[in-house]
A and B are shown apart, each in its own frame.
Chain A
């Protein structure tokens, strides 16, 4: 079955620390990948997405993600976090031309000021 897994359920770090959130997917064939973020009390919103081309994707708010096909991974990174990055982050995948977006379990990130 197609699935998306996020290794860390909770991450706590201090401002200015670097962040990396892991995401692995189990899909055959071409897959499109997304990272969504849910800030406290707000809607889920898109951070970045990858379909093809440069495997290093830049998104909003200084986030980037790297697609590594051989590892079935799409890890999210930010070099220096801020308190405002406190949120829950979701990785998601969908087969190219598919209809069903599958989300990982989410990672709650707490940034201490």
Chain B
């Protein structure tokens, strides 16, 4: 089985721009979670989607949004970028139940905001 893929792997943007990141889960997995990883804050939960519905959301401002498509692929969008949004954005795929299923992580998208 192919693993979780994330595109692009690296991005450089400037403040005020917006960005869209993509995640393709493992085939058959219906749930996708997004995390932000920074040296100072560690891994922080952004949101989780299951069958095109957002099931849970972390404590991030409304500039961070996401969606999931019928094929389970997910995108996250960050608008009006700030310097502090520079981070590694990780996507995790799982079959359906976050409380019991193993989360399979992708390689991440490294976003740098200048």
Chain A contact residues, CB within 8 Å of chain B: 32, 36, 43-46, 49, 51, 90, 94-106
Contacts and interface: CB of A to CB of B under 8 A. Distances in A.
A99 B107 contact: no
Q: Is the interface of B mostly helix, strand, loop or mixed?
A: strand
A45 B45 contact: no
Interface residues of B, number: 24
Interface in B44-76: 44-45, 48, 55-56, 58
Interface stretch (B13-21, B22-30, B79-87, B95-103): B95-103
Contacts of B43: 90, 103, 106
Contacts of B104: 45
Contacts of B92: 44
Contact of A94 (B35, B98, B107): B98
A80 to B, nearest CB: 26
